[in-house]
Structure 1
Amino acid sequence: MSSELQLKLDYVKAYRENRLNCAQEILENPSLFDELVSICFSPQDKNNHKACWILEFVSYEKLDWLQPHLDFLFSNLKILKDDSSIRPVAKVVQLLVKSHYKKGENNISLSEENLQDCIEASFDWLINDVKVATKAYSIRTLYVLGKHYDWIHPELKVILDKDYGDHSAAYKAVAREVLKKIK
């Protein structure tokens, strides 16, 4: 028998409003969040990509809900293979990394292992055949990480310079923006 969350995800469509409504239901029922995270990293689940869409929207409001799930999330980034799952998770990773390095209170605390998993996944997404939005999130995530790991910016620059001519206008815009900041 399907859970309450699975039944909700069955009805989620790609429309933004539809995804927002489901995310709002999760925000109003935090007890569903653990299962949502679990479904996100269960590629065999038919609602895997939908759960990832919802996780992205919930993360905009309650990024801190991910704190107890960080080891699980980062260690499982590499199991995601579907572009529809990877794109929203890449955005969540970007939000987590930005929060980790942001000055102030209520920041996300990432372990060194989390950061290493993030670096590996971000470079993998950048050099492999995934959609441009995922690559853009990865570029921005690696840019932030490169401020704290001195080897990242030179590697990122090499990849961006090499791949620049082979990509879309959206990729080129992000690459230009980050290359300007690196130099």
Structure 2
Amino acid sequence: MQSTIFVTKSELYSWLENSVNHSREKRQQISSVILEHPHLVLDLLDIAYTVNDPISCKAAWVLEFAFKEDNTIIFPVLNKFFKGLKSLKLESSIRPCAKICEILMIKYFSKKENNIKEQLNENHLEQITTTCFDWLIGDHKVATQAYSMTSLLLLGQKYSWIYPDLRSILEKNYPYGTAAYKARARLTLAKIK
């Protein structure tokens, strides 16, 4: 696997279709190839944003794995990444992208010096904000909503209007949420106050 280079997007697609599954080992294996050949991130993102294609989930999983190893791999495609978030329909594609957004926001608002701050612009932050609110109020699984809560909580440090809206949504949805949703909502509400 170390020397595998996908020459075309269709070869990458075929590998995702036939070789990637839910196991961490398989996702890690192909993310290593992506890290060795970062030019493949664009093709990976194209596949991840193919609406309603079950292989898009696998591409999103691999993107998340590769991003966790080296967040700089997403820098050349940031505009495409943020623009495509709204097109995602499958929950198993949305969750890894929501996690990437959460990590970006944690690093962006970190007091430690890092390279994320100089990469994200105002438009990117607005796109994350809008998308996270959509994921929070939409019919999504708890993980996606929890990642969105964290991102919005952090973004509220920059945009004061976020906290009242976030508080309102969490309080409204709290009675209907799962135990995991309620736990994350309580933590988020406590930090807002």
Q: TM-score range by the shorter chain?
A: over 0.9
**Aligned mate of 1:8, from 12, 15, 30:** 15
Query: Which residue does 1:94 correspond to in 2?
Result: 102
Using the TM superposition, give the Cα deviation of residue 47 of structure 1 relative to its aligned residue in structure 2, in angstroms: 1.6
Query: 62-71 or 120-129: which moved more?
Result: 62-71
Alignment-derived partner of residue 175 in structure 1? 185
Which among 105, 123, 126 is matched to residue 116 of structure 1?
126
Mapped pair 1:82 → 2:90: yes
Q: CA deviation at 1:32?
A: 2.1
Return 5+ residue gaps in structure 2 as ranges.
1-7
Once residues 92 and 102 of structure 2 are traced to their aligned partners in structure 1, the CA distance between those partners, rounded to angstroms, is 16
Q: CA deviation at 1:166?
A: 0.6
Q: What are the Cα deviations for residues 101-136 of structure 1, in whole angstroms up to 9, with x where unaligned? A: 223132242111111111111000000101111000
Measured in 2, the distance between the counterparts of 1:66 and 1:33 equals 7
Residue aligned with 1:47, SS? helix
The farther-off stretch of 108-117 and 75-84 is 108-117
Distance 2:54 2:173 in 1: 34
* TM-score in terms of structure 2 length: 0.88
Shift of residue 2 of structure 1? 6.4
8 Å Cα contact 2:35/2:73 also seen in 1? no
What CA deviation, in whole Å up to 9, does each residue of 1:161-183 have, x standing for no partner? 11111111111111111111111
What is the Cα deviation at residue 93 of structure 1? 1.0
SS at match of 1:102: coil
Match of 1:106 among 110, 115, 118: 115
Matches within 5 A, 1:16-95: 16-43=24-51, 45-95=53-103
- CA distance in 1 between counterparts of 2:49 and 2:123 reads 18
Taking structure 1 as the reference length, the TM-score comes to 0.93
Aligned length: 183
Overall identity of the aligned pairs, in %: 43
Q: CA RMSD in A?
A: 1.6
Q: Secondary structure at the match of 2:70?
A: helix
